[in-house]
Amino acid sequence: MSKHRIYEIADELDLESKEILDILDELGMGELTPLNTVDDEEYGLILELYEERKDELSEETEEVAEEEEETVEEETVTEKEEKVEEEVEEEAPRRPAVVSVLGHIDHGKTTLLDTIREARVANSEAGGITQSIGAYQIDWEGEEFTFIDTPGHKAFTSMRSRGAHATDIAILVIAADDGIMDQTREAISHIEAADIPLIVAINKIDKNNANPQETMNQLAREGFTPDDWGGDTIMVQVSALTGENVEELLDMLSLVSEMEAPTGDPEGELKGFIVESHLDSQMGPMATAVIQEGTLRPRDILVVGNTHGRVRALSDESGQIEEAGPSKPVEILGLKDVPPAGASIEAYDDLSKAKKLAQTRKEKQKQKSRKAKPSVEDLFAKAEKDNLDLVLKASSRGSLDAVKKELGEIEVEDIEIEVLHEGIGDISESDIMLASSSENYSAVLGFDVKLRTKAEEQADQLDIPAETYNIIYDLVDNVKRAIGEVKGPQYEEVKIGELEVRQVFDITGSGQIAGCYVSSGKITNKSIIKVWRDSELIHEGQIESLKRFKEDVKEVGEDYECGVSIKDFEGFEEGDTLEAYTKNRVEAF
C-alpha cells in the first residue's frame, strides 16, 4: 500500500495547502498537516470529496453570477469602489517570506547560501551580482524569498532583542558527518525563542562518513521528529557543495511560506529593521535593511534607533534602485551614524523633528548606560506576577542538571521560572543576546564558569543580570532570597477560636457591639473575625475592640463572655457565629 503526502495531493489537485486542510477537516482528519501522509483508501476519499466540492463550487459560482447580473444595475460606481476598499482593508497583500539560515559554524551555512544565491537570485543573470549587502532575494518557481546573510544566530538574536521580529522561517543546517553540536542546540534555542517555523537541512550527505539517519535520530531525541517518520519537523538531506536536493529544500520552503502567509502593505506606514551596518571610509554610514511595511524611497526622512538622516541613495545586490517595498533587502546611504542590527526604521515628514527624536533616544541610552548593573533581586522585583526566563551555563552536563533540578523545585505563586537555554561553557555574548530577546524578564546564571569580558559589557548595555557562582547552593539560595524579597513576608491564617453572638448592642458613639460567648478556643484584640450566618460568610474584618464587662482586654478564653466590635461593620444579628483567626508568618522556602 503506497503513501501520499498531503502537500503532494494539494499540488496534484492544484489547491493551496489551506484548501486541502479544509477537506481533511470535513473527513475527520483535521489533525493532519501538509507534511503528513495518507494511505490509498484515505487518498481516494480525499479525491472523492474534492470532486463533490468542485461541483458544488461550480453551481454556487453560477448562482452568484446570476444574482450579480440581476443587481448590477442597482449598484452605483461609488458603492463598488467602497466594496473594493473594504476588501483591501480586510486582506493585507502577501509579501516574500524572510528566511535566516542558522547552525554550527562548520556545518556549511555559507556554502548552502552561496549555492542558493548563485542559482536563484531574483531578476539577475549569471554574473550579474555586483555587491553583497548582507541580504538578498531569490526567485523559486515564481515565488520570492528574502534571505538574511548574517554571521549566524548572534546577529539573528541581536535583531530580535530590539523587537525587530525579523524572520518568518529559519533553516537549521546540521552536517550529516557531525550531527548535533552545542552550537546547534544554541541555535535551536534561538529559533524556539523566536517562535517561528523550522526546516532542518541535513548537509554534507556527499561525504563518505555522512550518517543522516543518525542525525535524524539525534534530532528525534531532542524532540524534533522527522516528517518522514510521521512527525512535524521538515528535514531535507542536501549537499550544499554539489547542489543535491537543494531544489527540494526550496520546495519545502515554499510549502511553509504558503502556510505562514506573511503579509505587508506597500501602501502602509513605513516599517523595517536593520540587518547589518558599517562605516565606509568614502561613503560614510551604510546600513542594510529589510522593509516590512510601506515603501522606502530616496529623500525619505528616517529615524533608525538613535540616529536619523535623509536617504541619499538605495541599492540592492544588483545596484541602485528607486524604491523598496515589503521584504525587500536594501542598502541605505544617508544616515548620520551607524545603527545597530535590529534597530527599527521609521519615516518622518520633518527633518528637525527626526533629529530631535534621535537625540532624545541617544541621551536616554547614555543615561541608561550610567545606571548600576541590575541584580537578580532587581529582576525578580520586576518579574512579579510574570514569567522569568533564565539562560543557564555550567562547566559540565552533570553540574547543569544539578542546577536545573534545584531550580525546578522552587515553586512560587505568580512567578513562573522557565529555562530559555542551557549550555556547557563560559557565559558568552550570545547568551546575553538570547536573554535580552525574551519578551519576559530574563537573566543569565552560570555555575563554575566565567563571564567573558565582552559578555559582561553586553549585559551592562542591555540591562541583563548576569551572575556566576562556584557553589551550587549559593546560586539557588540567591534566587530564593530574591524571590523572598519580592514576595515579602508570607503568612498563613490559623483559626484560634469560635464565638456565638447572643445579644447585639447599639452604643451611641461606639457603634454596634456583639455580646458573645466563646464556645471554643480564644479570641484576642488583634484577631481577624469572620462573621457567619446560616453557613454563609457575611463579613471578614479586623477586630476593633474586645471587652470584658466595660474593660478593654487583650484576650478572652473558652467559656467566657465578651463584647466584640469589628472595624467598618455594624450588621451583627443574634445567632451569628464568629470565627477568630490570627496570621502566623511562614518561611517562603
Cell triple for residue 583? 496570621
Contact status, residue 559 vs residue 505, Cβ threshold 8 Å: no
The DSSP code sequence of 479-500 is HHHHHHHHH--EEEEEEEEEEE
Distance CA 401, CA 392 (A): 10
Encode pLDDT of 431-466 as tens digits: 888 888 777 778 899 998 999 988 888 888 888 888
pLDDT of 385 reads: 44
Cell triple for residue 272? 523595517
The DSSP code sequence of 41-63 is HHHHHHHHHHHHHHHHHHHHHHH
Res 68 pLDDT > 80: no
> Cα(first)–Cα(last) distance of the chain, in Å?
60
pLDDT of 545 reads: 93
What is the phi-psi region of residue 536: left when phi exceeds 0, alpha when psi lies from -120 to 50, beta otherwise? beta
Which residues have C-beta within 8 Å of that of residue 84, sequence separation ≥ 6?
none
pTM, entire model: 0.61
The CA-CA-CA angle for residues 340, 345, 350, to 5°, reads 120
Name the superfamily (CATH) of residues 97-260.
P-loop containing nucleotide triphosphate hydrolases (3.40.50.300)
Distance CA 265, CA 294 (A): 6
Which residues have C-beta within 8 Å of that of residue 478, sequence separation ≥ 6?
376, 467, 469
Distance CA 224, CA 41 (A): 29
Encode pLDDT of 344-396 as tens digits: 899 999 999 999 999 998 887 766 555 545 555 555 555 444 567 889 998 87
Contact status, residue 292 vs residue 326, Cβ threshold 8 Å: yes
pLDDT of 576 reads: 96
Within 10 A of 364 (CB to CB), how many other CB atoms are there?
11
Cell triple for residue 393? 551555563
Distance CA 127, CA 490 (A): 71
The CATH number, out of the four listed (1.10.274.10, 3.40.50.300, 3.40.50.720, 2.40.30.10), of the domain defined by the range 491-586: 2.40.30.10
Name the superfamily (CATH) of residues 376-487.
Translation initiation factor IF- 2, domain 3 (3.40.50.10050)
Cell triple for residue 535? 453557613
Distance CA 341, CA 364 (A): 19
> Considering the domain 271-353 in this protein, what is its CATH number?
2.40.30.10
Distance CA 363, CA 370 (A): 11
Distance CA 84, CA 284 (A): 45
Domain ranges of the chain: 3-90, 97-260, 271-353, 376-487, 491-586
Ranges of H-type helices in 463-567 = 472-487
Q: How confident is the model at residue 135 (pLDDT cuts 50, 70, 90)?
A: confident
Q: How confident is the model at residue 100 (pLDDT cuts 50, 70, 90)?
A: confident
Q: How confident is the model at residue 183 (pLDDT cuts 50, 70, 90)?
A: confident
**Strongest mean pLDDT among 36-45, 419-428, 574-583:** 574-583
Least confident range of 296-305, 479-488, 548-557, 558-567 = 479-488
Domain 3-90 is of which CATH architecture?
Answer: Orthogonal Bundle (1.10)
Res 559 pLDDT > 90: yes
- With H, G, I as helix, E, B as strand and everything else as coil, classify residue 129: coil
Contact status, residue 300 vs residue 310, Cβ threshold 8 Å: yes
Distance CA 360, CA 340 (A): 17
Judge whether 3-90 and 271-353 match in fold: no
Res 74 pLDDT > 70: no
Give me the chain's average pLDDT, please.
81
Distance CA 348, CA 300 (A): 8
Within 10 A of 142 (CB to CB), how many other CB atoms are there?
6
Please name which of 531, 415, 534 lies closest in space to residue 480, comparing C-alpha atoms.
415
Res 27 pLDDT > 50: yes
